[in-house]
Amino acid sequence: MQLADLSAHPQAVPRDPHFRVVSVPAFTRDRIADLAVGRCAAIKVPDFLPAATCAEILGALQSSPFESYGRQRVQPPVMRFGVGVSDHRLSGAIADSYWPAAEASRAAWRGLGLPYDPFALCREALGTDWPGGVSVGRSGGRELAPGVAREPNHGFQVHFDEALREFHEDLLDAPLVAQFAFNLYLSVPDTGGETVIWRHRWHPADETHRLPQSYGYAESVVADAESVEVRPAVGEALLLDPRNFHAVRPSTGARRIALGFSMGLSINGDLLTWG
Ligand SMILES: O=C(O)CCC(=O)C(=O)O
Ligand SMILES: [Fe+2]
């Protein structure tokens, strides 16, 4: 029976039933566990924060100056408001420059004058069903930055994010058993700007596809891999396993602005974030 089915659809390539994007009303404990163990590729939650809250955060950001990620490493350029540890990494460790930059970033976010901390709202909504909730991670007892607003209008190259490979020792004070990337879209472009995730994790041979001096890889690195694509929508949150190669497509029209941070699941069962 199965053979007959296959010959009726000679083009059909079997797909991994575990590699799909699930759309759910909230980040429940079971869904986050599914993502941690690889039972889905990503979780999206429409209307993650109230529309009025998203509009208010966006309004404050739109009139604030964004900075560029290091232009040597990040081409085409990506703009950001706030600081991320990726720009303050030195020989596989957090550079000393990160700590004052993280403090300046917290001050800049406070300076927006919002009556709440947008990242705290996101952590609260992410952690409603998680025992102990979600908190900001620490390194050497010091709290890391809570996250950034990112604006990749020209896209992100194909890349992966994995603290285990970016840092020689545990990034946080507790070892991590899983890693996630969180994005909350506040403004989306008219065309393009899709997030693509490939069913492919880093392999040493992938380095032959590395773009010189860059965080990214040529798209040939994921040539044969299955992929899923998410078109961002305002107010929607996306949680993915960033160890899978992923990219953001270039866009046109409105700015593509998202709140973003990394999140890890510690060996103690805690969900810990960092920017
Ligand atoms: O903006 C996005 O949709 C994904 C950005 C990204 O590379 C990440 O969150 O790790
Ligand atoms: Fe990423």
pLDDT in tens, the chain (275 residues): 444 454 556 577 889 999 999 999 999 999 999 999 999 999 999 999 999 999 999 999 999 999 998 888 899 999 999 999 988 999 999 999 999 999 999 999 999 999 999 999 999 999 999 999 999 999 999 999 999 999 999 999 999 999 999 999 999 999 999 999 999 999 999 999 999 999 999 999 999 999 999 999 999 999 989 999 999 999 999 999 999 999 999 999 999 999 999 999 999 999 999 99
Residue 4 — φ and ψ, nearest 5°?
-60, -40
Q: How many distinct structural domains can be found in the chain? A: 1
Per DSSP, the three-state class of 93 is strand
How does DSSP classify residue 210?
Answer: B
Q: Does some domain include residue 12?
A: no
Q: How many CA atoms lie within 13 A of 143 on its CB side?
A: 8
Q: How many CA atoms lie within 13 A of 7 on its CB side?
A: 4
Task: Give the CATH number, domain containing residue 267.
Answer: 2.60.120.620
Q: Does some domain include residue 3?
A: no
Q: What is the pTM (predicted TM-score) of this model? A: 0.94
Residue 61: name the closest of 202, 253, 260 by CA: 260
Q: What is the pLDDT of residue 107?
A: 97
Are the beta carbons of 28 and 129 closer than 8 angstroms? yes
Pocket test for ligand 1, best of 188, 240, 256, 257 (most atoms within 8 A of CB): 240
Pocket test for ligand 1, best of 69, 86, 183 (most atoms within 8 A of CB): 183
Q: Does some domain include residue 10?
A: no
Are the beta carbons of 217 and 75 closer than 8 angstroms? no
Cα 197 to ligand 1 centre (Å): 10
Q: Give the CA distances from residue 78 to residues 61, 75, 232, 256, in Å, rounded to whole numbers and listed in that order.
A: 15, 7, 17, 10
Task: Take atom 9 of ligand 1 and give the residue whose Cα is closest.
Answer: 181
* Token digits of residue 206: 């992938």
Task: Take atom 8 of ligand 1 and give the residue whose Cα is closest.
Answer: 181
Q: Does some domain include residue 11?
A: no
Task: Take atom 3 of ligand 1 and give the residue whose Cα is closest.
Answer: 195
Within 6 A (CB) of ligand 1 lie 156, 161, 181, 183, 195, 238, 242, 246, 248, 258, 260
Domain range spanning residue 107?
18-274
**Burial of 112 by CB count in 10 Å (0-12 exposed, 13-18 middle, 19+ buried)?**
middle
Residues 6+ positions from 275 with CB-CB distance below 8 Å? 82, 83, 84, 85, 102, 105, 119, 144, 145, 146, 147, 148, 260, 261, 262
Neighbours of 190 (CB within 10 A): 9
Q: Chain centroid to CA 118: how far? A: 16
Residue 242 CA: nearest ligand 1 atom is 10
Q: Does some domain include residue 247?
A: yes
Q: Does some domain include residue 186?
A: yes
Q: Does some domain include residue 6?
A: no
* Token digits of residue 25: 């009303």
Per DSSP, the three-state class of 208 is helix
Question: CA triplet 131, 145, 182: central angle to 5 degrees?
Answer: 55
Q: Give the CA distances from residue 235 to residues 56, 137, 147, in Å, rounded to whole numbers and listed in that order.
A: 12, 25, 17
Neighbours of ion ligand 2 (CB under 5 A): 161, 242
Q: Does some domain include residue 96?
A: yes
Q: What is the pLDDT of residue 12?
A: 77
What's the maximum distance between 2 C-alpha atoms anywhere in the chain? 65
Q: What is the pLDDT of residue 9?
A: 60
Measured distance CA(81)–CA(150) in Å, rounded: 7
Q: What is the pLDDT of residue 184?
A: 98
Q: What is the pLDDT of residue 3?
A: 47
Q: What is the rounded radius of gyration, in angstroms, for the C-alpha atoms of the chain? A: 19
